[in-house]
Amino acid sequence: MDGGRERGTDTRREPPCSTGQSHGTRCSLPQDGSILFKVKARHAPGSSSFLLSHVLHPPPLPSCLSRGLQAAASDMKTTAYRGCVSSPDSGVKSESHKKSLDVPCGPAIPSRGIHPEEMRPPMERIPRHKTFSFYFRNLPKTNIRNCNYLCFEVRGKGRPSDAYVHRGVFQNQVYPHAPRHAELCFLSWFQDEMLSPHEQQRVTWFVSWSPCSSCAKRVAQFLQQHRNVTLSIFAARLSYFWDPATRQGLRRLCGEGARVDIMSLQDFEYCWDHFVNKKNKSFKPWWNLDRNYNFLVTELEEIRHSLDEDTFLENFNNDLWPGKTCLCYEVTAPVSDTRVPLGQERGFLHSKHGTPEPCCHAEFLLLERILSWKLNPKLRYMVNCFISWSPCAACAQYIANFLRENLHVHLYIFASRIYRRNDYKEGLRTVWEAGAQMAIMNYKDFQYCWQTFVDHQGRPFPAWQGLTRRSSRQSVELWEILQNQEN
């Protein structure tokens, strides 16, 4: 199959005579070399079953072969093999598929069975430089690179020195360990060994394949539950980027604050220096590296910048009351400026549900992302935010402090509805006083968001009943709140 991760199964099994049972038929190997067949015949429901047995004696063998056969039979051990998915596929494995991988065998030997609780520790480096060049080659479509490698870095916030960086490499886990994708191997190891509930931690991944839909969902849930962890993902290739479930998984990652990008030449060189046993060899870019990079960036931009229709309507419909905030943004930078990373000039973010702290709100996540770009203070940058709820009092204070410290950033906030809790009026005035422009979204704003941020498949914006009336009423309310500050 072109373009993505393929499924691979471990189909190794013992010879039929030594494996044990299959569909009611049992086969054993006596010490004398004869073969005993036992067939259990089944009748109609309610009737008894009976057992037929028959012994097949082989022709006489030379004494040396006979002794060898007896020794082999006495030493023979039956082992149960379980097929496992070893390729970085879409990650969605149905129960029927899992059952089809189970090979009916005899009793398993404990020392060779699969132990779900066991997990391989991370490698320090990829052992061979040719392995890196093969599996990280950024081909837009390939059907022979079944394995996924994940090179990671874990840093504590405020600790830029390499002395505080923990590096390692995970690979898809297969037999004899429990089958597991590299992303889930990292999460399991990280939670057991490195996760700190009281420290801000920055995690960076360099992966040969972008996460499948199942792994993306698990990683997004992890980020939602651990607000002190920020994640950046740099992928050499996109896995099944045409599949709707995979696209939605990457969008959810972006919505939870993860940075998802395509590996550039500089990223490949960095991985070569820090994660590969290169043996004093320098990294040699392959043919079409830059061309493939541009193609993959274009595909990722289309995925990353597009909301699902239902997600947009559920969050921005000003007649509904969603439980979390959705924020769509676009950054306009001077033509000569290259500080804004390619593909991040437009996107969307979600607040982390169930976490009242402002550091988990969409506004905070956006401003932290802008700070990470280290914009040129001598240039002017314009940021447009289309947000489902106006900022709360805590976020409003953070936005005001950000604008006072970054005078080169000009912020325009367009809110679908007003958030009316705690000291929201004072918060809105604080943002207004700090220099941000604020307004309530009208029909044209909703339509613009639909056309710019939604994967609408050519469908027009479905305006809901009462849109203009509610927008006008809240616009008057916002103006009265802001006017009170001037008086």
Q: Which residues are catalytic?
A: 363
Residues 6+ apart with CB under 8 A from 48: none
**What's the CA dihedral at 180, 185, 191, 192 to 10 degrees?**
90
Where does 256-405 have alpha helices with state H? 265-275, 289-304, 309-316, 362-372, 393-405
Find tokens 């970085």 and name the residue. 88
Find tokens 């099994």 and name the residue. 13
C-alpha 104/C-alpha 428 separation (Å) is 66
The neighbouring-strand residues paired with 114 are none
Would you say how long the chain is, in residues?
A: 487
C-alpha 349/C-alpha 326 separation (Å) is 6
**387, 327 Cβ separation under 8 angstroms:** yes
Nearest to 171 by CA among 207, 215, 200, 141: 207
Element (H, E) at 99: helix 95-100
Which 3 state secondary structure label does DSSP give 175? coil
**2, 143 Cβ separation under 8 angstroms:** yes
C-alpha 442/C-alpha 471 separation (Å) is 6
- Count of Cβ atoms closer than 10 Å to residue 471 Cβ: 19
The neighbouring-strand residues paired with 413 are 385, 438
Output DSSP code: residue 459. Answer: P
Backbone angles phi, psi at 414, to 5 degrees: -120, 110
Find tokens 């886990």 and name the residue. 173
Backbone angles phi, psi at 387, to 5 degrees: -125, 140
Residues 6+ apart with CB under 8 A from 326: 255, 307, 311, 312, 315, 316, 348, 349, 350, 351, 362, 387, 388
**234, 267 Cβ separation under 8 angstroms:** yes
**151, 166 Cβ separation under 8 angstroms:** no
Residues 6+ apart with CB under 8 A from 105: 13, 14, 19, 20, 21, 78, 79, 80, 81
